[in-house]
A and B are shown apart, each in its own frame.
Chain A
Amino acid sequence: MTASLSIIWALTLKELRIESRNRDVAVAIVMFASLVIAIFAIAIEPNARTALETGPGVLWAAITFAGVVGMTRATSHELENDAVGALMLAPVSRDLVFIGKSLGSFVFLTIAMLIVFVVFTFMFNLSIFRAEILLVALLAAIGFASVGTLFSSLIFRVRAREVLLPMLFLPTVAPLLFSAIRVTSVSVAGDTWSASLPWIQLAVVYDVVFVTASALLFGYVLDD
């Protein structure tokens, strides 16, 4: 158990160290999401009513698209000097490699989301730093990180990976996206926790199913 945890920690630390040196992924996510939010804010010119109607959708669409951009960037690191080949030679279980890599992506995504939330608050004049929104954001980050890690490892050798990653990732995370949009909508509209609860439960089920399935299937992805 302790040995597994130290392997996961070492792999997560490796991901964080790479990111701290070049800041490619988090910067790509923050800048892309902020740009999308800014373009929508200019196009919609949100007032108190339109911000409530369109804001949650814009926020989560921006974060999801930016997540794809970030993951494509993260994948390219693995190709440099055949880093993934070296990783596969490591005498550790593949599911631990998956958890370590996913945890790294989860950390970048969470940090990037918090910055994007600040940008959104200014652009749409909606306060989204509420407990239920932060909870669903955390759950979304877990799901995005696990599905994203599985798919980006699956397609990094394909020539058209920039096209394939969004094609695979976006429909797969659709339930999580619905959940995040709905929780944000009901929360900014001033509804109680009970209105958000079914969506939070859905996000929890999604995360449990996909973290487990992705960890189990990851062994087959790197099985050469």
Chain B
Amino acid sequence: MSILSLRNITKSFGDNAILKGVSLEAEEGEFIALVGPSGCGKSTLLRIVAGLDHADSGEIVIGGREVSPVVAADRNIAMVFQSYALYPHLTAGQNIAVPLAMRRLTAAQRFPFISNLLPAQRQIRADIQRQVREMATSLKIDHLLDRKPGQMSGGQRQRVALARAMVRHPSVFLMDEPLSNLDANLRVHARGEIVDLHRRAGVPTLYVTHDQSEALSMADRVAVMIGGTLLQLASPQEIYDDPAHIEVARFLGQPRINVMETRMDAAGTVRFGVLTLAAQHALRSETLVMIGVRPEFVRLSARVDGILRARVERTEFLGSEVIVHARLDALGEAIVAKATPAEAAKLSPGMPVSVDLDPDRVMLFAPRGERLPARTVAVASTLEKAHG
């Protein structure tokens, strides 16, 4: 059974629709990364789940309970904010203790002066202190408990924020770009730590990020949101290899996927270069479709007998690989290829090359962006004339 499910959430500010019916299910202990360009509505969705904002319509079910009418405090959701949002006037230890104190102690027990007269609170406070210390030790911040946020570094603050969120064992864990304020080295390190923490706690997590590498490396499943719509929710591997929409394919992958326009005839056959693709479902008449192929499945070679010919424009050396930018002679479109340094050494700017696409890795997209299931049925030999 899914522990968190969102059903058809919509939200608009005035005429501006931010969320256009988003549905999502998270299983027990799952880590879902919500990724998309800025302004796609992913942070709004997170705030709606947290109860900090209201959806215009749709249901939010947490652990079998519809929580739309429940206020944020009673949803038992914890959140880590981009700015960490630690209380600046409290020490790290007090910060971590706040959510526990708010839940365990009654209003009278929290009240200054009166609280000292109530016997039970001393026991509860000692218990809270013990838990704070345990949490801090497991995150290796026990030496920082007496410091205020202003005296800590970004990485330390981030850990305190994590501790504050985790200490009360929430039913759902939300993170809003928690690593974006860290420097690049620390960020990669913190990724691993968050994944570890998540494994240990086993709490389903919604993790919002605009960084595709964070999403792909950390999550069990990745949800790509673009323009207020959830376009695809799948495992990192699947969403990368088998995107359901051209926007998903474009958003994930660095450098971006190559997209070229071509014609599909009424029978659903597409010819591109030496390849002949057959779509499973033919569109009614001849249409323009898009062919997508990721840079790592494009091979540029210094032959001149290929059917698809291009001219190298520039190369970017990245150490283990080289990004080669070229322009197709026939279409005038740019094409990007990933090459090994050895392959790239044979290429130089201005050089005419032949382009080979991996026949199993070519994807077909409809004019409006949906993926068209298709497979390559024929690869013409380069010596023949494939074009009729």
Q: Do A and B assemble together?
A: no
Spell out B's residues near A (CB within 8 Å): none
Spell out A's residues near B (CB within 8 Å): none
